[in-house]
C-alpha cells in the first residue's frame, strides 16, 4: 500500500542515498514539465525512488532489483516491468538514464545516448543534464538537500 510506505532511509552502511528537488523540462509542440521532491537510494541494479509533490503527497514509488522494477502510484496502482527506465518514463513523461544518473550523482562523468551532464555544481548540490537527441530536447535539474 502506497499510503503506508515508509520514506526511503539509507540502510546501515548504505552510502548511496540522495534527496532533494528535481525538475524536468521537455521541449516540443506540447512543452511539458515535471517537478517533484525525491528520495533516491541504492544503485542502478537495486534501489528505490520516491517522488513527492510539492505539497507532500506521494506521487510515485519505484523499486527495482534483479532486473525487475515496480511502480506504485498515488492512485494505488501497481505496475511491474523488466525496464526501470520505462516505468520512470510513465511518471515523468520522458526517458531518464537512471543508471547514468547514479554515476552523475556520485561525481563521475558518464555518458548516456543524447545526454550531457554538467557536474560543476555538484559540490553545491546542483546537477544539470541536457538531452539534445533524440528529440524532444529535455533538461533535468537536480538540487540536493542531503
Q: Residue 78 in 3-state DSSP? A: strand
Q: How far apart, in Å, are the Cα atoms of 94 and each of 37, 85, 115?
A: 17, 9, 13
More confident call, 99 vs 141: 141
Contact 3, 113 (CB under 8 A): no
To the nearest whole number, what is the mean pLDDT of the chain? Answer: 86
> What domains are defined for the chain?
19-144 (2.50.20.10)
Q: Residue 87 in contact with residue 62, Cβ under 8 Å?
A: yes
Q: What is the pLDDT of residue 14?
A: 57
Grid cell 499510503 is found at 3
Tell me what the mean pLDDT of segment 62-71 comes to.
Answer: 94
Is it the case that residue 53 has pLDDT exceeding 70? Answer: yes
More confident call, 77 vs 9: 77
pLDDT at 33: 87
Tell me what pLDDT residue 7 has.
40
pLDDT at 23 over 60: yes
Q: Is the pLDDT of residue 9 over 70?
A: no
- pTM, entire model: 0.84
Amino acid at each position: 500500500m502506497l499510503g503506508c510506505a515508509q520514506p526511503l532511509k539509507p540502510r546501515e552502511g548504505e552510502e548511496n542515498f540522495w534527496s532533494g528537488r528535481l525538475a524536468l523540462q521537455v521541449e516540443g509542440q506540447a512543452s511539458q514539465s515535471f517537478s517533484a521532491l525525491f528520495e533516491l537510494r541504492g544503485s542502478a541494479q537495486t534501489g528505490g525512488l520516491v517522488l513527492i509533490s510539492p505539497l507532500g503527497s506521494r506521487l510515485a514509488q519505484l523499486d527495482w532489483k534483479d532486473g525487475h522494477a515496480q511502480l506504485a502510484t498515488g492512485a494505488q496502482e501497481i505496475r511491474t516491468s523488466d525496464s526501470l527506465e520505462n516505468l520512470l518514463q510513465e511518471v515523468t513523461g520522458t526517458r531518464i538514464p537512471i543508471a547514468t544518473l547514479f554515476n552523475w550523482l556520485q561525481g563521475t562523468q558518464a555518458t548516456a545516448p543524447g545526454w550531457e551532464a554538467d557536474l560543476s555544481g555538484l559540490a553545491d548540490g546542483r546537477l544539470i543534464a541536457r538531452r539534445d537527441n533524440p528529440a524532444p530536447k529535455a533538461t533535468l535539474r537536480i538540487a540536493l538537500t542531503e
